[in-house]
Amino acid sequence: MIPFLDLKAQHRALEADLLEAAARVLDGCQFALGNEVAAFEEEFAAYVGARFAAGVNTGTSALHLALLAGGVGPGDEVITVSHTFMATVSAIRYAGAKPVLVDIDPASYTMDPRLVEGAITPRTRAIVPVHLYGQPADLDPILAVAKKHELLVIEDACQAHGAEYKGRRVGGIGHMAAFSFYPGKNLGACGEAGAFVTSDPDLIAKVRMLRDWGQEKRYHHVLEGFNYRMDNLQGAFLRVKLAHLPAWTEMRRAHAAAYRELFTGSRVRFPREMPYAKHVYHLFAVMAQNRDALHRILGDKGIATGFHYPIPVHLQPCFEHLGYKKGSLPHTEKAAAEEISLPMFPELTEAQLREIVAATKEAYQG
Ligand SMILES: Cc1ncc(COP(=O)(O)O)c(C=O)c1O
């Protein structure tokens, strides 16, 4: 059996450090925010290359608070992609704004910057590019359009911890960014967690209040806020894991390079690693015309695969009211029909990788 990801292997290797971190928090009895969260915020902001980070309970909350801190609300429009996880678009709805969805570039599978300017209206307030699968969206042309029209750029970096765009880490390039530490992410907590990142002192001050009931100090609620605090336990676990992230990233990249090399000459297609990108391979996506059959054949051989994502957000029943139809976003719909993710995690062995490639090639021949 080859799992899709192997958190047990990761946790076995870090067991002593994780247990010690948990013991520290149990001893201190500070559970909602606290000293470990504060230390993690400093360490993570430094890692990203931004001035500030705020620990929150999920990546979705980080996106929601970024929009609110940026003044986005009812009547506003926010441009993003449909080829993403639900949360990107739902966060825009949480803020009361209207998501305006543009298609992806069919080479990179991230936001097509050429489509952004045409989607801007007098109500547009922000653009949310998504660094999907661990590859940065093409930020420079997006930032240029945003500057021209005075819009905010909020990076959805939930799948891209440590990814780089033209040599700079994502999350520190737009005005604000959201990271998810859902357990299966490249940097994952042992439960739910997320972070908001910015270099703007006013925005971080707002988000720090908003995540904790809008309090300026205890029981002084200057903003209508939320209970979006990060657990101190998660802060402690994330500090242990952050130290290993650079090594894990290099392992993921080595696996991706091996996949690409072993698939050379076969009919297997995958998103292009763009020249501007240091891709961190949260997922190793493959495009297959008959991906349901490939999923079944690999499954029968004990190889787990995933779909990211099989139904585009604009065709989900809950978003019917946005008014998109089948055919609205052709590249997005093609990606949703063809994408299948192969196992990808740092601890993947060379033997496992060769077995996956051989089974995939054989399935293609059949
Ligand atoms: C692209 C993207 N955006 C947002 C999120 C939301 O993060 P969370 O699950 O931590 O709320 C995720 C997580 O799955 C994601 O992949």
pLDDT in tens, 164-193: 999 999 999 999 999 999 999 999 999 999
Pocket probe for ligand 1: among 56, 128, 158, 280, the residue whose CB has the most ligand atoms within 8 Å is 158
Contacts of 292 (CB under 8 A, 6+ apart): none
Question: Cα dist. 216→54, 181, 302 in Å?
Answer: 15, 26, 53
Distance 121 CA to ligand 1 centre (A): 27
Residues 294 and 357: beta-carbon distance below 8 Å: no
Mean pLDDT computed over every residue of the chain? 97
Give the pLDDT score at 314. 98
Burial (Cβ within 10 Å: 0-12, 13-18, ≥19) of residue 118: exposed
Give the pLDDT score at 113. 98
Distance 239 CA to ligand 1 centre (A): 20
Burial (Cβ within 10 Å: 0-12, 13-18, ≥19) of residue 235: buried
Ligand 1 atom 12: residue of nearest CA: 158
Measured between alpha carbons, how far is 333 from 83 in angstroms, rounded to an integer? 8
State mean pLDDT over 289-309. Answer: 97
Measured between alpha carbons, how far is 19 from 236 in angstroms, rounded to an integer? 10
Ligand 1, residues at Cβ distance < 6 Å: 58-60, 84-85, 87-88, 130, 156, 158-159, 180, 182, 194
Ligand 1 atom 14: residue of nearest CA: 85
Measured between alpha carbons, how far is 43 from 237 in angstroms, rounded to an integer? 13
Give the pLDDT score at 365. 84
Q: Which two tokens stand for residue 8?
A: 């047990």
Distance 144 CA to ligand 1 centre (A): 26
Question: Cα dist. 85→60, 157, 200, 249 in Å?
Answer: 10, 12, 27, 22
State mean pLDDT over 96-115. Answer: 98
Ligand 1 atom 8: residue of nearest CA: 59
State mean pLDDT over 267-296. Answer: 95
Backbone angles phi, psi at 42, to 5 degrees: -65, -45
Check pLDDT > 80 for residue 202. yes
Check pLDDT > 80 for residue 48. yes
Distance 250 CA to ligand 1 centre (A): 22
Distance 350 CA to ligand 1 centre (A): 29
Distance 64 CA to ligand 1 centre (A): 11
Residues 284 and 259: beta-carbon distance below 8 Å: yes
Pocket probe for ligand 1: among 57, 58, 61, 85, the residue whose CB has the most ligand atoms within 8 Å is 85
pLDDT tens string 312-337: 999 999 999 999 999 999 999 999 99
Check pLDDT > 90 for residue 366. no
Give the pLDDT score at 16. 98
Residues 60 and 87: beta-carbon distance below 8 Å: yes
Exposure string over 320-353, b if 16+ CB within 10 A, otherwise e? eebebeeebbebbbbbbbbbbbbbbbbbbeeebb
Give the pLDDT score at 210. 98
Amino acid (one-letter) located at 206: K
Q: Which two tokens stand for residue 100?
A: 């305006």
Residue the block writes with tokens 């970096």: 157
Give the pLDDT score at 230. 98
Question: Cα dist. 266→9, 47, 256, 358, 362 in Å?
Answer: 31, 38, 16, 11, 10
Distance 32 CA to ligand 1 centre (A): 21
Amino acid (one-letter) located at 289: Q
Pocket probe for ligand 1: among 5, 180, 181, the residue whose CB has the most ligand atoms within 8 Å is 180
Contacts of 325 (CB under 8 A, 6+ apart): none
Q: Which of 218, 194, 187, 216 has its CA nearest to residue 66? A: 194
pTM, full prediction: 0.98
Contacts of 324 (CB under 8 A, 6+ apart): 82, 101, 314, 315
Distance 85 CA to ligand 1 centre (A): 6
Q: Which two tokens stand for residue 94?
A: 């949480």
Reported as type and span, the H/E element at residue 105 is none
Question: Cα dist. 321→74, 297, 314, 316, 339 in Å?
Answer: 15, 37, 9, 10, 26
Measured between alpha carbons, how far is 3 from 252 in angstroms, rounded to an integer? 15
Cis peptide preceding 309, ω within 30 of 0 = yes
Percent of the chain with pLDDT over 90: 98
